[in-house]
Amino acid sequence: MFLLKAWRSTAFGAYGYLNFTKNGFVEHSKRFNPEDMQIQIDGKNCVVTGANSGIGYATAKGLASQGATVYMVCRNKERGEEALSKIQSSTGNKNLHLEVCDLSSVQEIKSFASRFASKDVPVHVLVNNAGLLENKRITTPEGYELNFAVNVLGTYTMTELMLPLLEKAAPDAKVITVSSGGMYTSPLTTDLQFSEERFNGVEQYARNKRLQVALTEKWAEKYKNKGIGFYSMHPGWAETPGVANSLPSFNQSFSGKLRTSEEGADTIVWLALQPKEKLVEGAFYFDRAEAPKHLKFAGTSKSHSLIDSITGTLHSVASLDSSNPPLS
């Protein structure tokens, strides 16, 4: 197990250095088709979580630039209002709305989903961007490890509860989940809340991001007849406030080599704009192209067989079949 973990880390480091940096983006962008980003999506409704900073902000701004009506889901009202105002000023698009919701709370997500459903608007694009890498073990008031609560349980609950509104936009509806290249270092595991005595936030984050990719596969299979496209992606190594706070040593070591938030968000916006017939259901995207979900000899591919039992657990924990509070 130690040797396998060491190989995953080494392979990930080499693969990432060649592809995930700013230089990787510059090289990959040589094959981009500029016409792909000239598509206007006026009248389409896009929901972006974690939209007040970093890649979420760049995504909201990019979609607004293409004419979309954007609903920015943010935890902090003041920072959300400031971000919304900046995007309106820079894009000239006044069709932006702030929705306040803490994605670490199942109950808050349920309240948000209920409020939003009352608008009765079709959701053409849901971007599950909100994410967290907390290095210390923190338990939410609902009883869940914080990274898991935001990255996994929050993403799962938001997506499942938005399905009726996504169906209203079928067959044009899309769910885009922002994963991370860090998932290459971890197989799927049923240990959702990291039961080991010595907590490792980076490893837990990698597990969460692997689960997001596997969830996307599962959703694509389960809801293939609902007219909703499910895709995961990763933004590469971008210089964002989240990275600076969670991985200060990494951020400092790669100073000047990291992507901008706009470069990190590029593939999210690209996915939102493309006709679904050009995309692969359940696929993992990076720099506007389908990317492998597993590194060679990393021993992670067979682990995706665990997804059925995991989704059953998530559904139960989120209590999506009743109005009862989630299980602790």
Q: Is residue 64 part of a domain?
A: yes
Q: Is residue 322 part of a domain?
A: no
Neighbours of 5 (CB within 10 A): 14
The stretches of the chain forming alpha helices (DSSP H) are: 2-19, 22-28, 54-65, 77-91, 106-117, 146-148, 155-168, 201-222, 241-246, 248-253, 261-273, 307-317
Nearest to 24 by CA among 274, 259, 307, 292: 259
> 58: domain range?
2-317
Residue 62's pLDDT is what? 98
Q: What is the pLDDT of residues 247-275, one digit of tens each?
A: 888 888 888 999 999 999 999 999 999 99
Residue 297's pLDDT is what? 81
205 tagged catalytic: yes
Residue 321's pLDDT is what? 67
Q: Is residue 326 part of a domain?
A: no
Q: Is residue 156 part of a domain?
A: yes
CATH number of the domain within which 118 lies: 3.40.50.720
d(CA 12, CA 232): 18
Which is the catalytic residue, given 184, 205, 223, 231?
A: 205
Residue 325's pLDDT is what? 37
* Backbone Cα Rg of the chain: 18
Q: Is residue 325 part of a domain?
A: no
Domain count, the chain: 1
Q: Give yes or no for a contact between 316 and 325, defined as CB atoms under 8 angstroms apart.
A: no
Question: What are the tokens at 199?
Answer: 């907590």
Q: Give yes or no for a contact between 80 and 52, defined as CB atoms under 8 angstroms apart.
A: yes
Please identify every stretch of the chain with a pLDDT value under 50, giving residue numbers as ranges. Answer: 322-328
Q: Is residue 49 part of a domain?
A: yes
Q: Is residue 223 part of a domain?
A: yes
Q: Is residue 323 part of a domain?
A: no
Model pTM?
0.95
